Amino acid sequence: MGKENRFGILKEQDKKFRTIRIRAPAGNLNSKELALISSVSGKYGRGEVCFTSRLNVEIPYVPFDKLNDAVSELEAGGLVIGGTGASVRAVFACKAAFCPHGIINSREAALKIEEKFGGRKLPVKFKAAISGCPNNCGRAQLNDLGFVAFLTPEVLTSQSCDGCGLCISVCKEDAISLNDPKDGISIDYSLCVSCGDCVRACKKGNITPGKKGLHVYIGGRAGREIKSGILYENEISEGDITDFAGKVIDYIDDECTGHERLCSHLERVGIEKLAHRLG
Ligand code: SF4
Ligand code: SF4
Ligand code: SF4
């Protein structure tokens, strides 16, 4: 098959050209890879590159008769052409690996899914996103599968609190109040979104990390139709992300055979069958 018909090659308005899409695993490419993309774009395209909403990179305006050479050069440099069609698309990961709000390393988690399932052909496209904290820069709810990390604070009953108020100043939800300068703080858990910022702020160790994990959203989508994913009843741990994603991917492979996106399929049949497989 010619390279023009494979995943990662997109038609343009002008039929003489194609756009090449390069998968950026978890939105990351190193400087050598970026230099190669830049060089191929200059050599075969018009020296332009663009970025997709899933952080992939595209080289537009590649003449049809130069497509094979351009793709071969990119692949020889270890780059993967893809991220289109009915397949496991690039997993979106936020910057939690170095973001001060990061609760889990969303990039590492996304790379694990990529390594195991990235590019797998399915009856329909599958999009996943991982947000490393409740700020949810990954817009998890707008994906077939979305994860949002949380960290619930716990307050010690010791007298270590000196009433400095640092935790109160970082809490955007106004969930913390001083009881009495000598009687520590209280957290209103009905307001708390488990961002963990107060845990990091308290220098006295009076607020400690409690439960940590991920909320899971299933069956969302964006684009032509916008649908918010359903909050799955069980939270999961960081170590379970890949297996959980694998079960949802297998389910789509088995059940979405009528080319129905997961959201439409779940609207039609309900979530019970999928929930049973997820355990
Ligand atoms: S979701 Fe949270 S951890 Fe991830 S980039 Fe946004 S603020 Fe940082
Ligand atoms: S975890 Fe976040 S929302 Fe909850 S009390 Fe602490 S700072 Fe406020
Ligand atoms: S819990 Fe920590 S940050 Fe909050 S007032 Fe007490 S010492 Fe300060």
Instruction: Look at residue 157 and tell me whether its pLDDT is greater than 80.
Output: no
pLDDT at 257: 87
| Topology match between the domains 3-76 and 92-150+213-278 | no
CA of residue 175 to ligand 2 center, whole Å: 6
Q: Determine which of 79-83, 120-124, 144-148 has the lowest per-residue pLDDT on average.
A: 79-83
Can you tell me whether residue 29 is helix, strand or coil? Answer: coil
| pLDDT tens for each residue of 10-27 | 999 999 999 999 999 898
CA dihedral (195, 196, 197, 202) in degrees, to 10, reads: 160
**Which DSSP symbol is given to 52?**
-
Domain edges within the chain: 3-76, 92-150+213-278, 152-210
Instruction: From 28, 130, 137, give the residue whose CB has the most ligand 1 atoms within 8 Å, as the site to mutate.
Output: 137
Q: How far apart are CA 221 and CA 225, in angstroms?
A: 7
Contact predicate 89/83, CB 8 Å: yes
Determine contact, residues 26/91, Cβ cutoff 8 Å.
Answer: yes
| pTM reported for the whole predicted model | 0.92
92-150+213-278 architecture in CATH? 2-Layer Sandwich (3.30)
* Percent of the chain clearing pLDDT 70 (strictly above): 98
Q: Which of 154, 155, 161, 187 to mutate to test the pocket of ligand 3 (most atoms within 8 A of CB)?
A: 161
Atom 2 in ligand 3: residue holding the nearest Cα: 202
Q: Hey, what are 266's tokens? A: 């779940």
The per-residue pLDDT for 2 is 55
Predicted pLDDT at 1: 41
Q: Please identify, by atom number, the ligand 2 atom nearest to the C-alpha of residue 188.
A: 5
Question: Tokens for 81?
Answer: 């052409």
Side-chain-side CA neighbours of 112 within 13 Å: the count stands at 14
- Close Cβ partners of 130 (under 8 Å, ≥ 6 residues apart): 91, 92, 93, 94, 96, 104, 106, 109, 110, 138, 140, 146, 147, 149, 214, 241
| Domain covering 3-76: architecture | 2-Layer Sandwich (3.30)
pLDDT digits (tens, 9 = 90+) for 177-227: 999 877 899 999 999 999 999 999 999 999 999 999 999 999 999 999 999
**pLDDT at residue 279, as a whole number:** 81
Which residues make Cβ contacts (< 8 Å) with residue 51, sequence separation at least 6? 57, 58
How many other CB atoms are found less than 10 A from the CB of residue 52? 18
- Mean pLDDT score of the chain, rounded to an integer? 94
**Domain 152-210 is found in CATH 3.30.70.20:** yes
Strand, coil or helix: what is 144? coil
Ligand 2 first shell, C-beta below 6 A? 153, 170-171, 173, 175-176, 187, 192-198
Q: Which atom of ligand 3 is the closest one to the Cα of 198?
A: 3
- pLDDT the model gives residue 49: 98
Ligand nearest to the CA of 189: 2
pLDDT for 11 equals 95
Q: Residue 215 and residue 79: Cα distance in Å, rounded? A: 32
Sign of CA dihedral 248, 104, 114, 42: positive
User: Closest Cα to atom 3, ligand 3: which residue?
Assistant: 202
| Element spanning 218, H or E | strand 207-218
**CA gap 84, 108 in Å, rounded:** 22
Whether pLDDT at 80 is above 80: yes
The alpha carbons of the chain give a radius of gyration, in whole angstroms, of 22
What's the confidence (pLDDT) of residue 178?
A: 93
pLDDT in tens, 103-138: 999 999 999 999 999 999 999 999 999 999 999 999
